[in-house]
Structure 1
């Protein structure tokens, strides 16, 4: 097998053994954390393996032992409703095909993501579905070198030649922004995460384009209210309602009174509603509010929240189907990129 990233054959276990001057058996025991190897020697072998870009040939082992019938899913944190719904649907689709799912979490950490990738490689998984951290795409190079099928969801890494499935974030934000503009809004604020994700970048771009299409100015200082990232993704997510409440309160206390708010997640709308209510600002009489996600609680809000129904299940279904086709060598070789347009749900929060 030739390494498609540089045209050279990837290093084998025997190559690594020759470099460190030890037997292949000793090197294998060290890499798999088995007893009988001095800690200093183990550390040396692992460091040299990383330097050389050595990846265990798990697929060759699978040819002997048979497929494990297991796929891995790497996401940031399942407390995020998008990821929890995604994982649930991937697991359902995989189970229908006779596969089990190994869930691995990155907590939005590049280091944790590398650890998760390493564990996936050592586990001999048949394939991976992942929502990457997006800091560095080279973390995924060992997966591609090992010949393990990889499908990305939600967050894109264009430099990697792999299949990708996502909600169409630009089309979605254009739907929500146009909905309030069509109802008379001329001053609109977008509340979203202050995180370096392609999903957020696309939403901001779609929001800007929607305003300018109506001949309205876009000024990030006036039209954007970004929620700072949390200190720990183990405990909190930046889409939590209390974070949005703080940002919205600060904006309102500085005298900003837009005609409408468009938010990047329904949880933001919860915090925004409270900030507005505390200041006697009525929804939708004084300001319209448009959500994102159609979470179950949105129809019970007062007033019920207009929002966007995201195609969680369809993204997961298509991604899983594509991955299984790749694993079973039934997929066409062409790389697929699909962005699925979400559906607008109009309720009382935008009715005037």
Structure 2
């Protein structure tokens, strides 16, 4: 039979209110008495009844997190940082994956609302005006990462446009005449929210190259690379994700093309696995762990204190490797 607060109160000869204050670390209580109660709870094998606690407080201490998938290390690192920060704040996370499907995303939101999450963090593929209004009607804090949903939904990210403009200028300053720009999600601009990738493309477009750049939007970007004489000019391949850049590195190695003396490569995100790659990839640092922690911190304060969540722009950095 489960041990209750009453059992602990009887064993310690105190009131149930005193036990509740000790177990939940709130209110005034004698330190010695608190230590006695905690020790007795441990001895009896007390386990908190989170359902009852949720009903009493009107919240579940759960934050819903919806991302695209976990194939890209970017998202697994993001989830890991948010889970660690949530644990510090005594919150649990409810995770769902959309696989870039807009209808699936809405179903995930509806499911989490039914499970009474206290707040939502979204990497969204939806951005229509009615979607933003729909999210707001649930009257819980919502934060968007990776893709901005609307001006009415708080957004935490780097300045993607500035970051890619800086990356492109860095490549140009290295003496490359032409850039092959790889960004497969651009093919979905008319149907999906690709706000971050559109911002990056605008940043890229602001830098003039000596020769016309080549834009690759296909998911078969390696096949398209095969149709290009990449040695015609001094060329660098700039990718909007480290995942694409790693595939490009493999392709160039298979073709016996020397990196960076013949072709340069640059990525974006600075995912953890890059430390195992040779040559070390030049990339843009997207502070994933910091953004995840800030998102949890912001939404937990909104849940507990009603604080308004502010848009935040986190500083990026060019990580100099050996691939340019």
The bucket for the TM-score relative to the shorter chain is 0.7 to 0.9
How far is the alpha carbon of 1:154 from its aligned partner? 1.2
Q: Deviations over 1:194-233 (max 9, x none)?
A: 333011101110011122xxxx3685xx4211233xxxxx
Matched, 1:302 2:278: yes
1:276 touches 1:282 (CA, 8 Å); kept in 2? yes
Local SS of the residue matching 2:69: coil
Q: Deviations over 1:278-330 (max 9, x none)?
A: 44432111122112122334344332211122100111111111101110125
Cα distance in 2 for partners of 1:347, 1:64 equals 54
Equivalence for 1:83: 75
How far is the alpha carbon of 1:270 from its aligned partner? 2.3
Q: 1:246 to 1:91 in 2, by over 3 A?
A: same
Equivalence for 1:175: 166
Cα distance in 2 for partners of 1:75, 1:256 equals 40
Cα distance in 1 for partners of 2:137, 2:218 equals 38
Matched, 1:274 2:266: no
Structure 1 residue runs of 4 or more that deviate by more than 4 Å after TM superposition: 62-65, 255-258
Task: Return 5+ residue gaps in structure 1 as ranges.
Answer: 1-61, 229-242
Partner residue of 1:210 out of 207, 210, 225: 207
How far is the alpha carbon of 1:138 from its aligned partner? 2.6
Q: TM-score, normalised by structure 2?
A: 0.75
Cα distance in 1 for partners of 2:210, 2:149 equals 31
Q: 1:117 to 1:308 in 2, by over 3 A?
A: same
Structure 2 counterparts to residues 148-297 of structure 1, below 5 A: 148-159=140-151, 161-193=152-184, 194=186, 195-196=188-189, 197-211=194-208, 216=209, 222-228=213-219, 243-252=220-229, 257-297=233-273
Q: TM-score, normalised by structure 1?
A: 0.69
Cα distance in 2 for partners of 1:142, 1:274 equals 44
Partner residue of 1:66 out of 33, 55, 58: 58
Q: 1:80 to 1:140 in 2, by over 3 A?
A: farther
Q: 1:174 to 1:96 in 2, by over 3 A?
A: same
Q: 1:80 to 1:299 in 2, by over 3 A?
A: closer
Equivalence for 2:119: 127
Task: Return 5+ residue gaps in structure 2 as ranges.
Answer: 1-53
- Structure number with greater Rg is 2
CA RMSD after TM alignment = 2.3
1:77 touches 1:106 (CA, 8 Å); kept in 2? yes
Cα distance in 1 for partners of 2:113, 2:255 equals 54
How far is the alpha carbon of 1:337 from its aligned partner? 1.5
Cα distance in 1 for partners of 2:211, 2:137 equals 44
Cα distance in 2 for partners of 1:63, 1:140 equals 29
Local SS of the residue matching 1:328: helix
2:132 touches 2:153 (CA, 8 Å); kept in 1? no
Q: 1:147 to 1:182 in 2, by over 3 A?
A: same
1:110 touches 1:135 (CA, 8 Å); kept in 2? no
Cα distance in 1 for partners of 2:254, 2:166 equals 29
